[in-house]
Structure 1
Amino acid sequence: MTISVQRTGPGPLSPDATQYMVRMRDGVHLATDVYLPAGDIEPGPTVLTRLPYDKCGEYTFMPRIAAYFTARGYRMVVQDVRGKFRSEGETLLFVNEAYDGYDTLDWVINQPWSDGTVGMWGDSYYGYTQWAAASTGHPALKAMVPRVTGTRLGELPVPVPGRRTHDVEMSVHRFYPLSMFHDRDILDWAIDWTRRPLAAQVEEFFTAVGSRSASYDLWFPHPVSLRRFPAGSPFDAPAVPVLMTIGWWDNCAPWQWSDHRELQRRPGWARNEYLLLEAIDHENTSHFEPGVPASVDRMAARYLDPAIEFFDVFLRGADADIPRVRWQLANTGDPTLRSSPVWPPAAAYPLVWRLADAGETASGPAGGTLEPVSAAAAAPAGGVAVWTHDAADPVPSPVTDPFAFLREFPDERHLAERSDVLVFTAAPVTGPLDLAGPIRLDAVIGSDGPEMDLFVRLTDVAPDGATRLVARGQQTVLDPGDAFAVTIDLGHTGYRLPAGHALRLTLASSDAPEFVPAPGTGEHRWTAAETIPNQQRLHLGATRLTCTVLPC
C-alpha cells in the first residue's frame, strides 16, 4: 500500500511583524515574530505565545490575533518552538519547552519595547508551553491564559506498577509525533486503522518520507518517560495568576481538569486560579453555533476579550473584579457567562441513578433503565448485563474529527442499536434539569479477556429520538477478572436537559478510531496482527451514575 503524504511548510512572513532569531542557552536560534502597537514607543507589557503550528500559518491565525492584542496596547511575541518551521534545533515533543520558554522570556524583557512584564496566552500545545515556562519560575511571567490544554497534554497512557487502570490510548497519542512533530513541517497522512499491525504502516510512512520521528521512536515500542519539566513541576513553582479555559466538549479536557484539581491542592495556586468554562470543543467551535468552524474574525470577542481583561488586571494593574468562575449553561440558547465564587456552584448537589433491567440493555434503543435513587440508595437492582467486544468490528466513533466535535455534533441514536453497546434510559424530565459540575460512573465490571476498555457516554434524548452527547469518560482495566470496581470520570458540564428530554447512559468497549481498540489478546495495540472477541460484563447492582445538578 502506498502512503500518501502532504507536506505543509511555513507560511509567508507577516508584514506587520519583525522576525528575530532568538538565541537559546545551547546556541540554537528560535524564529520569533514581534508585533508592536502602532505609534507606541514607550515600554509596555508583552503577550508571548510559543507554538509548533507555524507562527505565520493559517491554522492558528497568529497575525490576526496579534493585531487584536496590539490594538489594545500590548506588544505580542509569537515564536516557533524548537525544531518547527523556521526555528533551529531537534524536533522533539515536550522536552525543550521549559528552558526555551525561560530564555525567550529573558530575551523579551531585555528589549526596549518591554516594561519587564509578560503574560502568556494560547491553546493546546501552546497552552502547555505556558506551563513549561511557569515551571522555571521566571520572575517576568506575571499571568497566563492556558486554553483547552494541560500539563499532561498528550501523555501516553502506560501501565503503572501496582495499578490496574489507566487512560485509554487515543489514536492521536502516537500519531501526533508522526504528523505535527515528525520534522519542521506538518505532514498530513492517514493510517488505515483497520489494517493490522498498525506499526507496519508507520514503517511504510518512514520509508515514504525518508526519515524517522524521534518522538515516536522514544515512545515505541518501549516508551521512554519524557522529562517535560526539567526545572521541576510547575505546581511547585511560584504561583502565577492563571485563567484556565476549559471546554465542555473538549476531548483534551480531562488533562485540564486534572490540573485544576492539582491547583486546588496548592494554596498559592488556588488563590491565583480563575476558571472560564465554555460550551466549546478543542477547536473553539461553540455549542451555541454548532457546525460553524472557528474563525478568529467572527469569534474574536469571546476568544480574546477574557484574556485581555485578565492581562489588563495582572499586567497593567487595572482595577477590575474578575469572577473566580465564569461558566456557560449549554442547551439554553443563551451564551451568557454566569459567575460563581466556586465550582461547582454552591447550590449544586449530587443526583444518583441506578441501572436496571439487565436483560434489556443490549436489545436496542429501548434498552435498560436509569432509575433515580437517593445517595444512600434502597435495595439495589440486580443482574448482570453482557456484551461482546470485537476489535475487528468496533463501535465507531461518532465524528470524523474529535477535536472539532461540535462542527458535527452528531445524532448518536444509531449507537444504541448495536448489540455491543449497553443502553440505559431514564424517564423524560417534567421540567428543566440543569447539570452543573462533575459526573461519574461507579461500576463493577468483568471480562474474559486480559484487559478491558470501558467507554461511557451520557446523552440527551429529545422527544423525537435525536440523541446528543452531554459528557463522556473512559478507562482501561488490566486483568479485570469477573468483578472489578472502577470509577469512570465523565468530566464536568454545564448543560440544561429541557422538559420532555431524557438522559441516556451507554457503555461499550470501543470508540474507534478516536481510541485504538484493544485487540482482545493482551498484545500491544500497535503490534497485534490478530484480534479475538472478549465477553464483557457489567454488574448492575453495584453500579451508580452520579451527576451534579442545580435546584429546580
Structure 2
Amino acid sequence: MPHDNVEVLVSFEIIETMTSETASRHATEYMVATRDGAELATDVYLPGNATTHSAILVRTPYDKSSRYTALKHEAEYFRQRGFAFVAQDVRGKFRSSGETVPYEFDVADAYDTAEWIARQPWSNGRIGVSGASYYGFTTWAAVASGHPAIKAAIPQVTGIEMGGTHVASRWRHEVPPFLALNDLLQIWTNNEGYLAEIDWASDRVANIIAQWHEQVGECAGATRLLDMASRQDWYNPYGARHPYHTTNIPILHWQNWYDPGLAPSGFRDWRYFRSQPSQRNLHYLRVGSADHSGYKLEDVGAGDKRNPYVSEQALAEKIETECGEMADFFDEHLNGVPLGQARPRARWHVGHVGWQSSADYPPPSRPLTFHLATTGEHIHGLSLETKDSATTVEWTHDPKDPVPSTTHIEAVWFILAAYPDERALAERSDVLTFRTEPLAENLDFAGQPVLTGQISFSSPSTHVFAKLQDVCPDGTTRPISWGRVVMSESTGTDLHLAMDDNAYRVQQGHRLQLQIQSSDFPHFAIHPGTDESPWLATTRIPSRQGIEIGGPRGAQLTLPVITIAES
C-alpha cells in the first residue's frame, strides 16, 4: 500500500514501508555505544551453559529481527553449536541511532562493537564475523578494523569494492547499474526501508532523486552518488585500512554463480588474495549454483516452496546446511576444532552435476574457442571453425528504445527464483545472437567465458553487454553468464570481455548461445549515445555498433573446459 505521507508520482510509487519486526524471545538487546556517541541496537543470543564462548558477529542494515535476514533463526543454530550470536542494526537503521549513511562508519563501528563483545563476561575473546550482501561488506569492514579479537570471517555474496559501485560511479570505466541507486533509495533514506516501484524511464535520474528527496526524504547515499559521478572519484570507505593490505586472518569467500550484481566483485577479491604469496593460504572459496538470495539452480520451477525467504521448510534446510558449513569454519579457526578431513581450498558446484573440490579456483582447464560466424539468417552461428573472409555485423543502439532486462529490477537478486526464458531477445534487431548446433555431448566449463574481437561504434563511447545462454531442445533460453564493458575512443576498438564466473554443464542436445547488445534496462543505466554521463544526460542519440566476424581478427568466445570424472 502507498506510504501515508507520500504522494504517488509518475516516477515512483511506495509499495510498502518496512519497519522493525518483532525481536526473538531468546535475544537480549543492548545499546552499544560508539566512540562518537551513537548507540547501536545489538541482540545477544547465548548458549544455555554458563561458560564463555566464541562469538559470531553480524551487522546488518536490513533489520536484525526481520524474517528477511532470518538472523534470529540462524542464531538458534549457532547457539546449539556453542557460539554466542551477536546481531546488530548498523548505524542509522531501524533501532540504532546516528546518521543513515551507507559505508561511512562501518569500520569504526565494527571495531567498537568487537571491543564491547570482548569485554563481556560470556566472551572468550574470540570473534568471527559474517554476513551477506551489504552485511557482507560490514564483514569486510570488521576485518579491516583490525580488532585483535576478530579471528576469522565469512563474507557472503558481496565484494570488498561494493561501495565503489554503490555510492560512486566511475561511469567512464564501468557500466553504471541502476540496481545500486534503486537499492540506495529504498534502504538508505532513513531508519526504515521501502519497497518502491520506480519508473526509471519516466524522467532524468537527477529529477527522480529530487522527487524522492522531496516526497520521502533525503537519501545521503544517492546525493553522494550524483556528486561522485560528476567527479569520477574512486570511493574507499576503509581509509588507510583497505582489506587488500590489512587482511591477516582466515577468510571463507562465499559466493553464488547467479549473482550478477555482486559476484564479479567477490571473484576479483578471491583472485587478488590468491595472487599474494603472503596472504594466499589464508583464503578459501565456496561457490554454489544459486542466486544472490540463495535460491538454487536445482530448484528452478519449484516456486516459493523452495524459496527460503517464503518457505519455512526451505529456510530450515538452508540454515541446517549452510550455517553448518559456517559453524565448521568458525569452530576450526576460532575454537581449534579440527575437521574430520582437510578443508579443500576451493569447493564449487557445477550446474546439473554437483559439488567439486580443487586445490585452487579456477581449476585446471583447456580453452575451447568458438568463432562467431555469419549465416545469412537473423540468428548467427557459433562454430569451432573460422572463415578466412571478414565481415562486420552491425546493430543500432537506440537509447530511447533500450533492450529490456528480462526480469524486474528487484529480481536480479533472486534471478533463479524468477529464472527468465530469454528466447524473445533473439527477435530484436539490436541484439546479435550467435548459436551452436545441438551439442553431441555434454560440455562442462568452470571459470570465466571470454569474448574477444574488434568493436566499432559511431558514438564517443558505448556499452557492450554479452550474455551466455543455454538453449534447451524446446527453445527455452536460460542465462548462465553475464558481462559488460565500457568502450571509448581512449580505450580503442579491441574487445576483451571476461564474463562472470560459472561452473556449468551444457547438456547433450542443448545449444550454447551468445548474445551481444548495448543496453540492459533498467538493470543498468542507458548509454546516451553522447559523451554525457548516463546519470545526468539530457540528450539521447542513436548510435551504430559493429563487431568483426571472420578473418584474422574475427570475434571469438573461449570457454575454460574441464573434465569431470563420472561417478
Could you state the TM-score of these two structures normalised by the residue count of structure 2? 0.90
Alignment pair present for 1:48 and 2:57: yes
Q: Equivalences for 1:278-293 in 2 at 5 Å?
A: 278-290=288-300, 291=303, 292-293=306-307
User: Does structure 1 residue 219 correspond to structure 2 residue 225?
Assistant: yes
For the pair 1:88 / 2:88, whether they are aligned, the reply is no
Aligned to 1:388: 396
User: Which residue in the other structure is 1:440 paired with?
Assistant: 450
Letter in 2 for 1:76: F
Which amino acid in 2 is paired with 1:386? Answer: E
Aligned to 2:360: 342
Q: Cα distance, 1:293 vs. partner? A: 2.0
Correspondence 1:149 to 2:170: no
Letter in 2 for 1:540: I
Q: Residue 473 of structure 1 is aligned with which of 476, 483, 486?
A: 483
For the Cα contact (< 8 Å) 2:164–2:235, is it kept in 1? no
Partner-residue secondary structure (3-state), 1:212: coil
Instruction: Find the counterpart in structure 1 of residue 557 from structure 2.
Output: 545
Kindly indicate whether the alpha-carbon contact (under 8 Å) linking 2:163 and 2:235 is maintained by their aligned counterparts in 1: no
Query: Could you say which residue in structure 1 is the equivalent of 2:273?
Result: 263
Is the contact made by 1:358 and 1:540 (CA closer than 8 Å) also made in structure 2?
Answer: no
**1:294 aligned partner, one-letter code:** P
Instruction: Give 1:357 deviation, angstroms.
Output: 0.9
Change (3 A) 1:10 1:206: same
Q: Supply the AA of the counterpart residue of 1:212.
A: E
1:326 to 344, 347, 356: 347
1:404 paired with 2:408, answer: no
1:331 partner amino acid = H
Contact 1:48 1:77 in 2 (8 A): yes
RMSD: 1.9
Q: Could you tell me how far 1:517 is from its partner in structure 2? A: 1.1
Is the 8 Å Cα contact of residues 355 and 381 (structure 1) preserved in structure 2? no
Q: Which whole-Å CA distance do the structure 2 matches of 1:219 and 1:139 have between them?
A: 34
Equivalent of residue 176 in structure 1, options 178, 183, 206: 183
Deviates more, 1:45-54 or 1:428-437: 428-437
Partner of 2:5: none
> Alignment partner for residue 202 of structure 2, among 195, 200, 211?
195
SS in 2 for 1:267: coil
- Helix, strand or coil at the partner of 1:127: helix
Aligned ranges 1:5-154 → 2 under 5 Å: 5=14, 6-38=16-48, 40-154=49-163
3-state DSSP class of the match of 1:142? strand
Q: Deviations over 1:289-333 (max 9, x none)?
A: 12432242232233212111111111111121211111111023x
1:380 positional shift: 5.1
2:330 paired with 1:311 = yes
The answer to whether the 8 Å contact 2:251/2:282 transfers is yes
Return the offset for 1:99.
1.1
Count of aligned positions: 532
Residues 159 and 30 of structure 1, relative CA distance in 2, 3 Å threshold = closer
Please give the alpha-carbon distance, in whole angstroms, between the structure 1 residues aligned to 2:486 and 2:321: 36
| Runs of at least 5 residues in structure 2 that lack an aligned partner in the other structure | 1-8, 310-314
Amino acid at match of 1:384: T
Structure 1 residue 8: Cα displacement: 1.4
- Which of 429, 436, 439 aligns to 1:426? It is 436
Question: Aligned partners of 1:357 and 1:535: how far apart in 2?
Answer: 18
Distance 2:345 2:524 in 1: 34
**Residue 368 (structure 1) aligns with:** 380
Letter in 1 for 2:471: V
CA distance in 2, matches of 1:155, 1:380: 43
Cα distance in 1 for partners of 2:510, 2:495 equals: 29
Deviations 1:28-77 (A, max 9, x none): 11111100012x11101110001110111121111111111111111000
- Checking the alignment, whether the CA contact within 8 Å between 1:436 and 1:548 is kept in structure 2 is yes
Displacement after TM superposition at 1:540 (Å): 2.1
Q: Percent identity?
A: 35
Query: What are the superposed Cα offsets for residues 376-420 of structure 1, whole Å, 9 maximum, x if unpaired?
Result: xx7655211100111211111111211110011121111111110
> 1:519, 1:530 within 8 Å by CA — same for their partners in 2?
yes
Q: 1:23 deviation in Å? A: 1.0
Residue 321 of structure 2 is aligned to residue 302 of structure 1: yes
**Given the alignment, which residue of 150, 164, 174 partners 1:167?**
174
Contact 1:458 1:469 in 2 (8 A): yes
Name the SS of the counterpart of 1:491 in structure 2: coil
| DSSP-derived class of the 2:26 partner | coil
> Which whole-Å CA distance do the structure 2 matches of 1:193 and 1:530 have between them?
16
Q: Work out whether 1:355 is the aligned partner of 2:361.
A: no
Letter in 2 for 1:88: S
Cα deviation code 1:459-496 (max 9, x no counterpart): 11122211111111001223379x61121121211111
1:109-135 Cα distance to aligned partner (Å, 9 max, x none): 111111011111111111111111111
Q: What SS is found at the alignment partner of 2:67? A: coil
- Per-residue CA deviations over 1:501-551 (Å, capped at 9, x if unaligned) read 111110000111111111223323233344221111111242221111113
Using the TM superposition, give the Cα deviation of residue 359 of structure 1 relative to its aligned residue in structure 2, in angstroms.
5.1
Conserved? CA contact 2:455–2:545, under 8 Å: yes
1:345 deviates by 2.1
Whether the 8 Å contact between 1:147 and 1:245 is mirrored in structure 2 is yes
Closer, same or farther: CA 107–405 of 1 in aligned 2, 3 Å: same
Label 1:231 to 1:28 Cα distance change in 2 as closer, same or farther (>3 A). farther
| Structure 2: distance between partners of 1:532 and 1:293 | 42
Structure 2 distance, partners of 1:58, 1:131, is 24
Whether contact under 8 Å (1:452, 1:480) holds in the other structure is no
Amino acid of the structure 1 residue aligned with 2:252: L
Moved more, 506-515 or 380-389: 380-389
- Output the CA distance in 2 between the equivalents of 1:535 and 1:225: 31
Q: Which moved more, 1:269-278 or 1:524-533?
A: 524-533
- CA apart distance, 1:225: 4.7
Q: 1:245 to 1:90 in 2, by over 3 A?
A: same
Cα-to-partner distance string for 1:246-275 (whole Å, 9 max, x where unaligned): 111112111101111111122232101111
Match of 1:508 in 2: 517
Shift of 1:177: 2.0
**Superposed counterparts of 1:526-545, under 5 Å:** 526-541=535-550, 542=553, 543-545=555-557
Inter-partner Cα distance in structure 2 for 1:383 and 1:4: 48
Distance 1:84-1:315 versus aligned 2 partners, 3 A rule: same
CA distance in 2, matches of 1:302, 1:474: 34
